Chains A and B, each alone.
Chain A
Amino acid sequence: MSIAVETIVAAWRPEYEVPVSDVGTIADVARPLSRFERLTQNSLFRRGMVLVVLAVIWEAYATYLDNELLFPRFSDTMVALWTQSWHGPLLSRTLFSLELLAVGYSIGIALAGILVVISVSTKVGDDVLSALTSMFNPLPAIALLPLALLWFGLGVQSIIFVVIHSVLWAVALNTHVGFKSVSQTLKMAGQNFGLRGLGYIGGILLPAAFPSILGGLKIGWAFAWRTLIAAELVFGATSRQGGLGWFIFENRNSLETSNVFAGLFTVIIIGLLVESVVFRAIELRTIYRWGMQH
């Protein structure tokens, strides 16, 4: 009986072996995307389209409002941006601001680096950094400006001081957290290679924590840029020198609203450029290439 059933099954479902055939072009599924497909894949292009739409809405609303003193049109702002850049002080003011920012940002990062190196080398350093970051990170840098004015007087030093404060804690906190979350296996591998001290920090901890560090650098940059403009606005009334913040303040005083908008526009543009060109380029070359972030 069972033999009969087996024969029937074998007849229905015979065993077989087949050599693997060459599938040729059908299996070659990779095909270059068309130009339009590639364009819609590009986030820079998509974001650019959003900006274009926003500009159109702005222009339409301002034309409808028709009040140049309160809300100038997009086109007026663009004209102001052009003339203030090439025939006015906007460009030099912007460069002045960026210079302050670069100085404050670099010093802030350097200090953060020193703090974190100390904190990973000793237990006490770790406690000190944790206490410092949790104390100072929530303190808005601009709140320190009055103190900075008292200590350093009216001038570049006071602004740099508050910029450093705004960068330092964000970068230190993120780097510290990043170092702590490096996987145990990776740490052991590094020690296994014979890496010690600074070689170990630079060779293993720093690159392994890079996604977190880059996050800290981005936050630090955003804090610093805001703080700088805000500090310049306060300074604007009292200092001879000035940056972009002062440009905005000055033009508001003389009711040149389209220039105020041009100033604000410059603040935004620089913010966008740094975020989506500079940091984006760094991300693509590092954490995306390394598969540490998708």
Chain B
Amino acid sequence: MTVAVLPRVADSVPLPSGEQVQAAPLLSVRGVTLQYKTRDQLVTATYRVSFNVYEGDRFVLLGPSGCGKSSLLKAVGGFIEPVEGRLELAGKPIRKPGPDRMMVFQEFDQLLPWKTVRQNVTYPMQVSGRFDKAKIAVQVERLLEATNLTRFADAYPHMLSGGMKQRVAIARAMAMEPAMLLMDEPFAALDALTRRSMQAELLSLWEQTRFTMLFVTHSITEALIVGTRILLLSPHPGQVRAEIDASDVDLGSMGSDRFSALNDRISQLLFNSAADLS
């Protein structure tokens, strides 16, 4: 019903610039409007946002605070229902939270404090019932190894630093082999040095398994480092400003001409749209 009024954005979305052209997007977001209630008003977080995420993408939602990027991620996670538009994962509508879209939050308290690092990674796998015992044990050890957590496997979360906690959260999410990894500013609460090494680790994890991820950030630099494609959102309410290909820049190309050119272009787009409004 609501679909009819939406603009047909699907046709205008540019294809990913990779060598092979995928037929169908893994995640399709079509004209999604999100609203939430505060104590005394109804706030529109995003207005008719559309985008496609393809398998293997490191897709970044970038924008200033108030552009609804976290709300969008939560909608993909199934925590918020859109008032308008459709969200589809592999062709199926998203209705509720599920382990096929594992989420990594910004907050350090996302780990279960009553479980050790190993148990934290193991628990969702056991709960989902998708894996047999032997597979769980192997998978958990492999991910602890990959995230440099083996030494701390029996520590409780409160003994760990912020960066380590986020590593556990990433290991926990990846262990589930989700169709898509949702990351809500996972490094925002870390110090600058730790953030840099976490970004490098995330990229090397991606090199190993090429998982699909949807990554929310408000840092242009982080978006350029982490993302292969960047969706720019303008604030109040969040609307799509641009989608940019950033597959040719990463941690290694920081400071290069291409990196700063993209950086400038993005700032231009973000700050111009802010100027338009004022």
User: CB within 8 Å of B: which residues of A?
Assistant: 183, 185-186, 188-189, 191-195, 199, 203-204, 207-208, 210, 286, 289-292
Contacts and interface: CB of A to CB of B under 8 A. Distances in A.
Given A185-B110, A194-B124, A210-B114, 19 more contacts: A185-B105, A185-B109, A188-B79, A188-B103, A188-B105, A189-B105, A189-B112, A192-B77, A192-B97, A192-B99, A192-B124, A193-B123, A193-B124, A203-B123, A203-B127, A286-B114, A289-B156, A290-B158, A291-B159
B192 to A, nearest CB: 22
Size bracket, chain B contacts: 20 to 34
B107 interface: yes
28 contacts: A183-B107, A183-B109, A185-B107, A185-B109, A186-B109, A186-B110, A188-B79, A188-B103, A189-B103, A189-B105, A189-B110, A191-B97, A192-B77, A192-B101, A192-B103, A193-B99, A194-B127, A195-B127, A199-B127, A203-B123, A203-B127, A207-B112, A208-B114, A290-B156, A291-B157, A291-B158, A291-B159, A292-B158
B75 to A, nearest CB: 13
Give the residue among A188, A193, A203 with the most B Cβ atoms within 10 A: A193
B102 interface: yes
Nearest to A200: B127
Interface in B124-152: 124, 127-128
Contacts of B103: 188-189, 192
B156 to A, nearest CB: 6
A207 B127 CA distance: 16
Nearest to A182: B109
Contacts of B124: 192-194
Query: Lowest 5 CB-CB distances: which A-B pairs, in order?
Result: A291-B158, A191-B97, A193-B124, A185-B107, A207-B114
Provide the main secondary structure of the chain B interface. Answer: mixed
Contacts of B96: 191
Nearest to B182: A192
B93 interface: no
Give the residue among A189, A203, A291 with the most B Cβ atoms within 10 A: A189
A194 B123 CA distance: 11
B113 interface: yes
Contacts of B112: 186, 189, 204, 207-208
Nearest to B176: A193
B130 to A, nearest CB: 9
A207 B119 CA distance: 14
B158 A194 contact: no
B91 interface: no
B98 interface: yes
B97 A188 contact: yes
Contacts of A189: 103, 105, 110, 112
Contacts of A207: 112, 114
B189 to A, nearest CB: 12
B214 to A, nearest CB: 14
Nearest to A196: B96
Interface in B79-121: 79, 96-99, 101-103, 105, 107, 109-110, 112-114
Give the residue among A183, A185, A192 with the most B Cβ atoms within 10 A: A192
A51 B123 CA distance: 45
Nearest to B158: A291
Contacts of A183: 107, 109
A238 to B, nearest CB: 48
Contacts of A195: 127
Contacts of A192: 77, 97-99, 101-103, 124
A195 B98 CA distance: 9
A188 to B, nearest CB: 6
A194 B110 contact: no
A284 to B, nearest CB: 13
Nearest to A194: B99
A210 B113 CA distance: 11
Contact of B128 (A193, A208, A291, A292): A193
A234 B124 CA distance: 53
A193 B97 CA distance: 8
Given A183-B107, A188-B97, A291-B159, A193 B113 contact: no
A191 B79 contact: yes
Contacts of B128: 193-194
Give the residue among B114, B128, B159 with the most A Cβ atoms within 10 A: B114
Contacts of A292: 113-114, 158
Contacts of B98: 192, 194
Contacts of A191: 79, 96-97
A189 B157 CA distance: 15
Interface string B33-60: 0000000000000000000000000000
Given A189-B105, A192-B77, A290 B114 contact: yes
A192 B105 CA distance: 11
Give the residue among B97, B105, B156 with the most A Cβ atoms within 10 A: B97
Contacts of B109: 183, 185-186
Contacts of B99: 192-194
Give the residue among B96, B103, B157 with the most A Cβ atoms within 10 A: B103
